[in-house]
Structure 1
C-alpha cells in the first residue's frame, strides 16, 4: 500500500465525480458527495427521476467494482479524498475561507497536540470550523493507536456542502466523528472535550448581539470571527485542556489584539506561538502560525518561557529532528 493506492482511489473518485457532475448538471463538490454515498452503499448507484442515465450507471458501476477500501489505511483514504476535494476547490472556485487545510499544516498541528497535550486514551476533540474535515481527520489518524478504542471527535460548520463532504469522508475512513450544522459562535450541542483544534477563518462576525456575550468582542463595530472562535473553543475544552489554532502570524498586531490578550490572560495560559514554515505561504503577510493555549486548571500553569519561534522547513529533516528535541526539552522544563 502507499501513494500508488492513494492515486488509484483518487482516480476512481475523480472519474466517477466527473461522470455525475456532467450527467446530473451539478457542482463537482455535490457530485463528489453523491459518488461517495454510492461507494458507501456498496457501489450501488442512486437513481432519481431516471438520472443518472443507464450508460453512465454502467460506467459508474465498473469504476466502483475496482475500489477496494478494505485494502487501504484510513489515512490513505483521507489523502485520496483530499485530492478530490482540492480538485473540487479549483473546479468550483471555492472562496478562500472555505479552502481545505493543507496536509503539511495538519501534520504540524497533530504533532504539537501529540507532543504537548498528554491526552487520555479516550480523548475527545473539537473542531469548530471543521469544513471538509481534513485538519481534524489528519489529527485523528495520527493520534489513533491500533487496537485502542476509536477516539471521538466533534465538528461544527455552517456550510452544509462542506459538512456533507466531511460526513462522507469520515464514514469512508470509519472515523468516530459527530458533525453539527450550526453557527459555531452560537451555543453548541457538543460536550466538553479534551482538546480543540481549528484552522480559523479570518474576517468579521456579523451578529453583534451574539458577539457581545464574548469577552473578545470588539468595543465598536463587528468583532473578529477568529477571536470569538478561539474563546468559544476554549469554553468547550476541559480545565487544563489545550487548544491549537492556526491563526495569522500577525494576530497580536491588530487593533483588536488588546481585547484578545486581556481575555487570554484571564481565562487561559498562552503557552506558545509558532510560525508555520515560510515556504508554505505566498508572502510574509500571508504567513500563519499555530497559537497554543491551555485552559487554567489544577494541573496547568503558565510556562516559564513561552514557546516562540518558527518551524523549520519540512524539507529539512535534520532541522526538524533538532526542533523535536528542543520541543521535548521545553515541555519538560515548562509544562506541569
Structure 2
C-alpha cells in the first residue's frame, strides 16, 4: 500500500532529524526544530561550530532536495509536523501542561469556532498558550479551507523552544501568524481578535502580585492560572467575539469558581459548556470540556438556554455526527 502524503512527509522530517540528532548529540526535538528550519530555508543546512559535519551534510542535502512542500497542503504539513513533534515530546517527557492538543479535540474546537464565530467572520485568531502551535494551526486550516479567506494568527507562550517550533511550522504552512515569547498574563501587544482558542494549563499561577490585577484572582493563596488566562484572553477578544477554552470538566463546580463565575456574569456570556468524549481520557477525573464564552457588546446576547451536554463516544460516528448537527441547530435557534 502506498504511503499517504502525511506519512511521506513525516518520514522525511524524521530521517533528517535523526541524522542531526546523532551528529549534534542533541535531543530529537531540538534536531527537529533544526531540520524544519533548514527546510523552511530552502534546504540549506545551517552549520555552527563545524556541525553538522561534512559527512552528515552530504547525507542531508539530497534528502532535503527530495522534500517538495508544494505537493502538500497546509493540513498535511501540520499533521506530519505533529507526528514528528509528538515523537520528540515523548522522548523528553514534557510536563502535562505542555503536551500537544490531540487532533480529535482540536477538530472539535475548530468546528465550534466555525459554528459560533461564523466561519466567514473569522479573520483573526489568538491562542495565549500556543505551545507548538498545533491547536492554532488546526483552527486556521479549518477556517481557511471552508472560506478561502486568509486568517491571521497570534500565539503567546513563555517556552521559547516550543514557540520556535510553532513559528517555523507556521511558516511551512504559509500562515500569516505572529508569535510572542512572554508570560500570557503580562500585557499583550495584540489588537482585539475575532476569536480566541486555548488548551489551558491547569494549576496555580505563582506570582500573586500579578494575579491581583485580575478579577478572577483567589481571595486567599495562589490563583488558578486557567481562571486568570480566561479573563486575560477575553480582554483581547472583540465585542461579540468568542473564546473557546479547554478546561477541567468541573471548572464551575470548585470552591475557587466563585470569582470566575462573578467575572463571567459581569463581562461575558456563558453560551456553552460541552464535556468531551469520555473515551478520550484515561480517568473520569481527568475529563475536560470546551467552555464557550462570548464577549458582551455588539449584537451579543445571552442564550436563554446555555448549551450543556457531553459529546458521545468519538468511535460512534453516527451518534457523533448527529450531535454535531444538534449543536449547529441549537446555535441557529438560540443565537441568530
Give the shorter-chain TM-score range: over 0.9
Matched, 1:178 2:178: yes
TM-score normalised by length of structure 1: 0.97
8 Å contact from structure 1 (residues 121, 148) kept in 2: no
2:229 corresponding residue in structure 1: 229
SS at match of 1:308: strand
Contact 1:234 1:295 in 2 (8 A): yes
Partner Cα separation in structure 1 for residue 147 and residue 90 of structure 2: 38
State how far apart, in whole Å, the 1-side matches of 2:329 and 2:147 are.
Answer: 30
Going from structure 1 to structure 2, the CA distance change for 1:3 and 1:228 (only over 3 Å counts) comes to farther
Q: CA deviation at 1:123?
A: 1.5
Larger displacement relative to structure 2 (223-232 or 91-100): 91-100
Give how far 1:147 is off.
8.1
Once the two structures are superposed, the pairs formed by residues 232-251 of structure 1 within 5 Å of their partners are 232-251=232-251
Are the aligned partners of 2:240 and 2:300 in contact in 1 as well (CA < 8 Å)? yes
1:82-97 map, 5 Å? 82-97=82-97
Specify the SS of the correspondent of 2:252: helix
Paired residues of 2:277 and 2:312 also in contact (CA < 8 A): yes
* Pairing 1:52-71 to 2, within 5 Å after superposition: 52-71=52-71
Structure 2 equivalent of residue 74 of structure 1: 74
The Cα offsets for residues 275-331 of structure 1, whole Å up to 9 and x where unpaired, read as 011111001001000000001113111111110111122222211221122112211
Q: Describe the superposition over 1:240-281 as per-residue Cα deviations: whole angstroms up to 9, x where unpaired.
A: 110000001011222211111110011111001000111110
Residue 13 (structure 1) aligns with:
13
TM-score after normalising by structure 2: 0.97
Q: Using the alignment, how far apart are the partners of 2:49 and 2:249 within structure 1?
A: 51
**In 2, Cα distance between the equivalents of 1:111 and 1:298?**
23
1:245, 1:120 → 2: CA distance?
A: 21
CA distance in 2: counterparts of 1:46 and 1:264, whole angstroms: 49
Gapped regions of structure 1 (runs ≥ 5): none
CA distance in 1 between counterparts of 2:278 and 2:291 reads 16
RMSD: 1.4
What residue ranges of structure 2 are gaps of 5+ in the alignment? Answer: none
Q: Is 1:322 paired with 2:318?
A: no
CA distance in 1, matches of 2:146, 2:333: 31
Match of 1:140 in 2: 140
- Secondary structure of 1:284 counterpart: coil
Runs of 4+ in 1 over 2 A off after TM superposition: 119-122, 145-149
Q: Equivalent residue for 2:168? A: 168
Deviations 1:143-198 (A, max 9, x none): 00478442101000000000000011000101111000010001001111001000
Distance 2:109 2:122 in 1: 19
- Which whole-Å deviations, capped at 9, do the CAs of 1:55-76 have from their partners, x for residues lacking one? 1111111211221110001000
* Distance verdict in 2 for CA 1:99–1:122, change over 3 Å: closer
Deviation larger for 243-252 or 2-11: 2-11
Please give the residue correspondences for 1:82-121 in structure 2 after superposition, counting only pairs within 5 Å: 82-121=82-121
**Matched residues in 1 for 2:191 and 2:28: separation?**
34
Q: Which residue of 2 aligns with 1:159?
A: 159
Q: How many residues align?
A: 335
